[in-house]
Amino acid sequence: MVDIAERLGGMVEELTDMAIDALRRATSGDPDSAETGEALAMERRILKARRALERSIAALHEGTAAGREPLDDGAA
């Protein structure tokens, strides 16, 4: 499960980059344009997905922080 948490961490980074790109698009043009509104809506969806992944990562690491056995059972 540690491997899964690491892969999810990579996805969080990708989503962060996507959110930054959406914000750049939103701020580069007319603030009242449809394109700006779409870019801001996309940024909100991306951030929602990123937060969900962050919660998943925290859940996967939860047992190790409490001094329990690591989630990775060594099976590969």
Structure tokens belonging to residue 49: 């997905």
pLDDT of residue 69: 54
Q: Yes or no: say if 50 and 19 are a contact pair by the CB < 8 Å rule.
A: yes
Nearest Cα neighbor of 36 from 20, 25, 47 is 25
Please state the rounded mean pLDDT for residues 9-38. Answer: 93
Half-sphere exposure of 70 (CA within 13 A, CB side): 9
CB 70 within 8 A of CB 4: no
Question: What is the CB neighbour count within 10 angstroms for residue 54?
Answer: 14
Whole-prediction pTM = 0.75
CB 70 within 8 A of CB 64: yes
